[in-house]
Chain A
């Protein structure tokens, strides 16, 4: 990024339109197609004005499009640069580029910009919230700003470096993702005994001997009951015909039964 090309006013508009309203018109048919068109409208207006090809370019941008929201600015940047240079001649290039990039970007972006931050921030914020502390919520807002910064730089990168950037960036993001997975799984591991409330209720009393199942379980492994519940949920999710809604309902039934059968307190 040594030769810094300034983004034009139109480019900035495109970015901000995506940032604020990229998924506003999300629909089952063309998904983010409407939002994409909305975002590049200033570009179309600037390049094609009132010419006949304007509608052609517009239809081209209204097509099916769906990728990770945070990664899309890269594609918008590449698209802007190409159309500014080649105009309507690049119509097929643009269409191919969009469909070619949206798939891989969706996969990596959903992991890196949604699953991982949601896991890490969600774990910390929920854990603190359960203790009655709202401070963790600041992390959501901080992440909002971080993400905005990254999205802005993505647009610039896409605009300046074009398609050649995609491979190197993809590789870099992949490395970050696999490192971030380590952080994510460590946090989840810590979360299991911290936030799941499952305490064995069973107590056995005969003569002077008192045995509490929970005390015994603690001898084996603290957090045994929460770990078992996670294992059950994990196993259930892997069964055929199971989805998260069904497992939710099953767990509610399990909870009610476990209480009334005096397994869990």
Chain B
């Protein structure tokens, strides 16, 4: 299968919008699940898109670019991974594994875009000192250009020139590597989970991790069912916490500074 120009156009536009949305309005378009789904729609294979997106999303579950640290961009990864999976006909697992190095490479371009915006900051400061307050505000909006281009250009180029390349790679990959990559794709979600376990207060809440695992592994409860039990336990804990702090009124006045849990 070859890619159509309108498919290239739509996927490219999506990548530019998604990164804007992820940084500002946050309606989930930057999430790999959503990107994979949309790419699947565009490429005419929603199932593949969902699996590529779902696998990649698990890799960056709780991660956000806090304080401006760049993270693997599996939105772009999901778009390209889905497109190449459909084009090569090698299946969703292949697409997901292919997307991993793409997502990792995108870190560098994200850094570059944020670096470009530094010039806009300087220019805004210069404009303000000249009394051009309104023109200075425009610099903020121009920041969208480097950020969006940092996704749109690589997506566009990869779709225009990459298909043949990926096809060649696929045709020359030995079976042991191909299948090995599939297995790798299966265990990669463990990383996203491990990152979260490092971030969330695990020691205090280890019991709840066990409960969730038990529900799914032994009782085969779907994740949504486990989430409901988790919610129930969270509500109970919240109620108890409120009762506790209602008694010693205004006992804790100054513990700012460690608002971060744990």
Residues of A within 8 A of B (CB): 19-31, 33-35, 37-38, 41, 44-45, 54-55, 58-59, 62, 66, 69-70, 104-108, 110-111, 114-116, 118-130, 132-134, 136-137, 139-141, 143-144, 147-148, 166-167, 170-171, 173-198, 221-223, 226-227, 229-230, 232-234, 236-238, 244-245, 247-248, 251-260, 264-265
Is A134 touching B180 in the complex (CB atoms < 8 A)? Answer: no
Question: A261 — nearest CB in chain B belongs to which residue?
Answer: B180
Question: A179 — nearest CB in chain B belongs to which residue?
Answer: B238
Please judge, given known A-B contacts A24-B143, A34-B143, A257-B180, whether A130 and B55 are in contact too, CB under 8 Å: yes
Please judge, given known A-B contacts A122-B58, A182-B237, whether A198 and B186 are in contact too, CB under 8 Å: yes
Question: B68 — nearest CB in chain A belongs to which residue?
Answer: A31
B218 within 8 A of A: yes
B196 within 8 A of A: yes
CB of B220, distance to nearest CB on chain A (Å): 8
Please judge, given known A-B contacts A133-B50, A185-B209, whether A28 and B114 are in contact too, CB under 8 Å: yes
B100 within 8 A of A: yes
CB of A239, distance to nearest CB on chain B (Å): 12
Is A114 touching B68 in the complex (CB atoms < 8 A)? Answer: no
Is B227 touching A123 in the complex (CB atoms < 8 A)? Answer: yes
Cβ contact of A110, chosen from B64, B139, B214, B215, cutoff 8 A: B64
- Listed A/B pairs (10) with beta-carbon separation below 8 Å: A19-B25, A125-B31, A125-B57, A129-B33, A171-B252, A178-B237, A183-B230, A186-B233, A222-B217, A252-B100
Is A119 touching B34 in the complex (CB atoms < 8 A)? Answer: no
CB of A229, distance to nearest CB on chain B (Å): 4
Please judge, given known A-B contacts A190-B212, A260-B176, A265-B183, whether A170 and B259 are in contact too, CB under 8 Å: yes
CB of B136, distance to nearest CB on chain A (Å): 7
A156 to B115, CA, bound (A): 34
Give the tally of cross-chain contacts (CB within 8 A).
426
CB of B144, distance to nearest CB on chain A (Å): 5
Within 8 A of A (CB), among B230-260: 230-231, 233-235, 237-238, 241-242, 245, 252-253, 256-257, 259-260
B87 within 8 A of A: no
Q: What 6 additional pairs, Cβ within 8 angstroms, besides A137-B34, A187-B212? A: A25-B117, A26-B114, A108-B260, A122-B33, A129-B50, A188-B197
Is A115 touching B64 in the complex (CB atoms < 8 A)? Answer: yes
Closest 3 CB pairs of A and B: A140-B28, A189-B212, A255-B184
B193 within 8 A of A: yes
A163 to B229, CA, bound (A): 37
CB of A228, distance to nearest CB on chain B (Å): 9
Contacts of A183 in B (CB 8 A): 227, 230-231, 233-234
Contacts of A166 in B (CB 8 A): 256
A43 to B183, CA, bound (A): 56
Contacts of B189 in A (CB 8 A): 126, 191, 195-196
Please judge, given known A-B contacts A144-B28, A184-B196, A185-B212, whether A251 and B184 are in contact too, CB under 8 Å: yes
Question: A171 — nearest CB in chain B belongs to which residue?
Answer: B252
CB of B72, distance to nearest CB on chain A (Å): 7
A218 to B94, CA, bound (A): 28
CB of B205, distance to nearest CB on chain A (Å): 5
Is B129 touching A55 in the complex (CB atoms < 8 A)? Answer: yes
Is A106 touching B47 in the complex (CB atoms < 8 A)? Answer: no
Contact with A along B124-166 (1 / 0, CB 8 A): 1100110101101101111110010000000000000000000
Is A174 touching B226 in the complex (CB atoms < 8 A)? Answer: no
Is B23 touching A58 in the complex (CB atoms < 8 A)? Answer: no
A133 to B224, CA, bound (A): 13
Is B213 touching A227 in the complex (CB atoms < 8 A)? Answer: yes
Is A124 touching B227 in the complex (CB atoms < 8 A)? Answer: yes
Contacts of A171 in B (CB 8 A): 245, 252
Is B64 touching A190 in the complex (CB atoms < 8 A)? Answer: no
Contacts of A120 in B (CB 8 A): 227
Cβ contact of A25, chosen from B139, B186, B195, B213, cutoff 8 A: B139
